[in-house]
Amino acid sequence: MGKFREQIEKGFVTTIEIAPPKGAEVAIPLEIAKKISGRVAGVNVTDNQRAMMHMSALVFSHLMTEVGAEPICQMACRDRNRLALQSDLLGAMALGVENLCIMTGDYPTLGDNPQSKPVFDLDAPQLINAAHMFSQGTAFNGKPLKGCKDFYIGAVFNPFYNPIELEIFKAEKKIAAGARFFQTQPFFDMASLDAFLELVKDVDAKFLVGVTPLKSVKMIDFLNNSVLTTPIPEEVSARIANAEKPELEGMKMSAEFVNAVRDKVDGVHIMPVGQLESIPLLLDMIEEGKKR
Amino acid sequence: MIITKQKGIDEIFSALRGAKSVFIVGCGDCAALCRTGGRSEIEKMTEILKSHDVLVTGSALPHSTCHELDVQRILRANKEAVEKSDAILVLACGAGTQAVGDSIKKPAVSGCDSLFIGNSKRQMHFYEKCSVCGDCVLNETGGLCPETRCPKGMQNGPCGGAVRGNCEVDHARPCVWIEIYDRLKEFGRLDDLKKLVKPKNRKVATKPHRIEKE
């Protein structure tokens, strides 16, 4: 059993997202991953996130294992059909990549190769089902597979989806298909989190709630207009707007949030947007706050 | 019907490859309704070609240009004008262009791009609701097709990317999964959404399709 699964079974965990590079230079992200490997339970390796071309998530997950980090390899349904996805599931097993976070993926027109063919042969619940079948030594067509290892499978959850009942139905399907944990979109206030936890109290899976350090008023405007259903509360925006160093203030707020939710949730999933090199400092701030 | 859009005139001239004389074939069915290949569009195209010193030897408007025997009959009826032309310009969908091209040993030049199978609510407003996938799920989804009306063709519910109820890909359109949810709720069938739907059978969509019943 890998470190991530072991730790999440025991208690509160922190996972963090590191994107593979947009080029073949891997030294900097790997150095960060190595530096923080003892301080987080797992590192999500994104799969062409926001439909932007990056290095293969599976290859970069493997490189992470070589520096001692515990990857949670994201797999999106956007770019590969069921043949290619199954090949990558076998590849993940061979490379010792145990944790998967499976999602449908953003549509190509939103990314940097808008003319590419959208595949979506399977959707996320179906790919979760396929990965779960592989764990049990069966290919998607029902034929036996030799030498299979157990995956620890997760998925994503949008707590701001309306109607939320529909998102819960889908989460239940993902659990039935084999998902054991969910990573959510970011929360920016406790009231939204509390309301969400009440809604999913009967959902039988681990929830790692999303945390994204805010960097600027511009970023808040973007999130409010294009991503979030519930706008970021005024008092949160005001702290960023009035801060001398907004990026530092955003990290401080994230650290406060993480320490305030320790007793409420199974873990947090930190998604620093364009702040790769600030990750160690953010973890320092979280640990500092925890001591108080 | 097949929704078409007329190609730009520069592209049409480029595809005509310097033809000095052209016979035009439209389509009295879909392309006429899309105003890309009806009588009026044939007349406009005739004027444009003439103004570029291209001789228009004649034109024809089959009832449905995808009906190949009908197309062959009309081309025979216009034999002289067709023979005088260097190329046939077809103002119809891709199926119509190929019906012409397969009927005659002359280049059939496509004057339109075929876009989708569309429903029409009122004139010149077209909506794609069916993508002829060969594996229909309408009976499970309250009569709304997620394969077509969701850009990702989600089978097991929404992708979760909707912003204020609208699709992440086209913010001007509601997420079809919310519409499916609303409709099934109205029918008292929300439990249908809890079943894990198996992947679509893409084998039945193998192209080109062919049915030959005696």
For the CA atoms of B188, B129, B168, B205, the dihedral, rounded to the nearest 10 degrees, stands at 100
A:B CB pairs within 8 Å: 88
Locate tokens 């899309």: which residue?
B34
Q: Give yes or no: residues B101 and B146 share one domain.
A: no
pLDDT of amino acid A227: 74
- Indicate which of B131, B147, B152 best probes the interface with A, i.e. most A CBs within 10 Å of its own CB: B152
Q: What's the pLDDT score for residue B43?
A: 98
Q: How confident is the model at residue A117 (pLDDT cuts 50, 70, 90)?
A: very high
For chain A, the structural domain boundaries read 3-291
CA angle (B188 as vertex; B194, B118 as ends), nearest 5: 80
**% of chain A exceeding 70 in pLDDT:** 100
Mutate one of A78, A86, A161, A162 to test the B interface: name it (highest B CB count within 10 A): A161
Instruction: Give yes or no: residues B111 and B145 share one domain.
Output: no
Does B125 fall in a domain? no
Sheet of B112-122: strand order equals B2-6, B112-122, B125-128
Quick one: average pLDDT of A46-56? 97
**Residue A68 clears pLDDT 80, i.e. is over it:** yes
B155 contact residues in A (CB cutoff 8 A): 123, 126
Residues B164, B96 share a domain: no
CATH of the domain at B14: 3.40.50.2300
Question: Cβ contacts (< 8 Å) between B193 and chain A: which residues?
Answer: 166, 169
Q: Could you tell me the residue range of the domain that residue B20 belongs to? A: 2-115
CA-angle at B210, arms to B208 and B211, nearest 5°:
165
pLDDT number for residue B163: 84
- Report residue B214's pLDDT band, with 50, 70 and 90 as the boundaries: confident
Q: What is the pLDDT of residues B88-128, one digit of tens each?
A: 999 999 999 999 999 999 999 999 999 999 999 999 999 99
Residue in A with minimal Cα distance to B154: A123
> What pLDDT shows up at residue B84?
97
* Phi/psi at B22 (5° precision): -135, 140
Decide if B149 is inside a domain.
yes
Q: Are residues B10 and B71 in the same domain?
A: yes
Interface test with B, best of A107, A158, A202 (most B CBs within 10 A): A107
Among chain B residues, CA nearest to A109: B169
Give the CATH number of domain A3-291; options: 3.20.20.220, 3.40.50.150, 1.10.10.10, 3.30.1490.20: 3.20.20.220
Tell me the shortest Cα–Cα distance from B135 to chain A, in angstroms.
Answer: 13
Q: Across residues B5-15, what is the average pLDDT?
A: 98
User: What's the pLDDT score for residue A279?
Assistant: 95
**Domain check: are B187 and B138 in the same one?**
yes
Q: Do B11 and B78 sit in the same domain of this protein?
A: yes
Note whether residue B122 is domain-resident: no
Asked if ipTM goes beyond 0.85, one says yes
Confidence at residue A234, expressed as pLDDT on a 0 to 100 scale: 93
Arithmetic mean of pLDDT, B173-195: 96
pLDDT of amino acid A136: 97
B176 inside domain: yes
- Mean pLDDT rounded to a whole number for chain B: 96
Shared-domain flag, residues B73 and B142: no
Let me know whether B102 and B7 are in one domain: yes
Of the candidates B152, B153, B158, the beta carbon closest to that of A166 is on B158
Q: In this prediction, what percent of chain B has a pLDDT beyond 90? A: 96
Q: Which residue of B has its CA nearest to A157?
A: B160
